[in-house]
Amino acid sequence: MAKKYEFDYDLIVIGSGAGGSAAATIAAKQGKRVAIVESGTFGGESPNWSDIPLKSLLHAANLYDEARHGSRFGLRSSTLGYNYPSIRAWKDLAVKRTGAGGNRKYYENQGIDTYSGLAHFLTPNEVSVNRRHLSANYFLIASGARWVVPEIPGLDTVKYLTPHTILEAIRPPKSLLIIGGGETAVEIAQLMAIFGTKVYIVEQASHILPGLDSEVSDLMGRVLSEQKGITIMAHSKVVSVERDGLIKRVIVTHAGTEKSIRVDEVLVAIGREPQVDFGLDNAGIKYNTGGIKVNSHLQTNVRHIYAAGEVLGKNSHTHTALMESQIAANNMFEKTKASPDYSCLTEVIFTYPGIATVGLSEYDCIKRDLAINKAMAPLSIIARSNTSDFRDGFVKIITDKKGVILGGTVVAPHAAEIIHELSIAVKHGLSAYQIAETPHAFLSWSEAIKVAASKLV
Amino acid sequence: MTLAVDVIKSGGRRQPEKFQREKLHASIVAACLSVRAPEGQAEAIAHAVCDSVIAWLENHPEVTSQDIRIITTKHLKVHHPEAAYLYEQNRITI
């Protein structure tokens, strides 16, 4: 009989964020011996540095902004103000209340051993954490990603901000130049602009939010520039940054001409890259700078090592990482293997109006050479836009030639809630007719979905 | 200079040893000289690459000799691709 090797743990999870914590908890509940290794703050990116803190700040900012513009409803808001340290205290409270944020005990209470430090594979079954060797039958790599710092001359000589550090700022800067125009950049731009910061966005692509359909970026570009005073510089590139006394001077090129912009702070938010510096070669795991390679069961080329979350190199959100983590745990310890279904995952941007997408975008359909029908319903044609005096937004639905919904985009207040109707439609192959014939409550924003679906029947 | 980094030797049969900059430096110089780089350039490249490897090692208290080879090759490739190729292929150089 073959010798069965004994290991310290049944499962070692590298990374305590959304990609790791779900699998660790599931395995611990099944009675497995589980350890979790975290090199940063326990809880990972979402509760500590991105989703929770940023969205709690955005909630306060949007309340302030709505109240400030309430005079058209007869509200007196001329004396309205804010206290930024108190807003930060609210953000810290929101982070603390998640339970997982920065809280090692959260995992230990579930019977999971915790190790603080950088895990480094020595062999396929062994990692070193602060010189301590830990072995396991299974590994889950959920080390996440980090913000990329571009090679811009002079950037390393100035103290620049990242999407992590800007949330810890004592007060909003007077002026801010954001390198990058992706979703986090746009959220932070709107947040800071509401608190009075003069914001510049420099984006290399032809428009901000380059991954989304052009209608979304056109509308958001207009909302940000006209209503929030943000200067958007698309098709532009930062060529150098230098200190100029207490402020920073940024040289930006656009269509062959150079422009100098003097700002208080520079924020680098061009994108994220997977963290793969874990001695993966020692374990024989296939990877590249784009992430770790896995099969449809989230298994790497080394059979007992799985990976989930941003380390896979996809544009992963917290809910995606959670789903992958649960599936990885299932595939390690259950006989029936599962695969993640990415077809109906929503992507949400918490600006105002909010942006939410699901399924295929129009650009995705063009790339796949799919024959489609599409319809758009501007918010201005539904009754709610009248009672709320808000018209900047739309619902766009894409179907195949048989009328089955392939994808959709919502730009509206509460877009993150509205989109789930389309998620269910995409997941279960519903047609535009089925959505259109379903009654939608009068004076809800969701009426726009019914209107868009009706146009496709 | 000896950094407080343990290097686990390939195969796992030999005892781990402390990282030695001089040993790494000599191996890079040897790789550069093998592809006919001038001696001064070999020394300068070795100096720069050793600095980069040591910066990486600051967060890694325990690594394998394979890790050092991979990281060294990555940084050496920037300065001298041919020497990096030789370094990557010739396992006896470190």
Contact at 8 Å (CB) between A270 and A160? no
What are the per-10-residue average pLDDT scores of chain B (94 residues)?
Answer: 79 81 93 92 95 92 91 94 89 50
Contact at 8 Å (CB) between A309 and A18? yes
CATH of domain A155-270: 3.50.50.60
Question: Do the domains A155-270 and A9-44+100-147+273-333 match in fold?
Answer: yes
State the average pLDDT over residues A87-104: 86
What are the structural domain ranges in chain A? 9-44+100-147+273-333, 155-270, 346-454
Interface test with B, best of A37, A135, A278, A282 (most B CBs within 10 A): A282
Size of the A and B interface in Cβ pairs below 8 Å? 25
Which CATH topology does A346-454 take?
A: Enolase-like; domain 1 (3.30.390)
**Radius of gyration of the CA atoms of chain B, in A:** 13
A326, exposed or middle or buried, with CB in 10 Å at 0-12, 13-18, 19+? middle
Smallest CA–CA distance, residue B39 to chain A, in Å, is: 30
Say if strands A272-274 and A247-254 run parallel, antiparallel, or are unpaired.
unpaired
- Could you report the predicted ipTM of this complex, rounded to two decimals? 0.79
Smallest CA–CA distance, residue A2 to chain B, in Å, is: 22
Contacts of B38 (CB under 8 A, 6+ apart): none
pLDDT tens figures, A169-222? 999 999 999 999 999 999 999 999 999 999 999 999 999 999 899 999 999 999
Q: Is there a contact between A279 and B67 if contact means CB atoms under 8 Å apart?
A: yes
Q: Does A120 touch chain B (CB under 8 A)?
A: yes
User: Within chain B, how many helices (H) and strands (E) appear?
Assistant: 4, 3
Contact at 8 Å (CB) between A190 and A352? yes
Gap between the terminal Cα atoms of chain B: 16
* The predicted structure's pLDDT at residue B93: 46
Which CATH topology does A9-44+100-147+273-333 take?
A: FAD/NAD(P)-binding domain (3.50.50)
pLDDT tens figures, A98-128? 877 677 888 899 999 999 999 999 999 999 9
Beta-bridge partners for A248: A243, A263
* The predicted structure's pLDDT at residue A34: 96
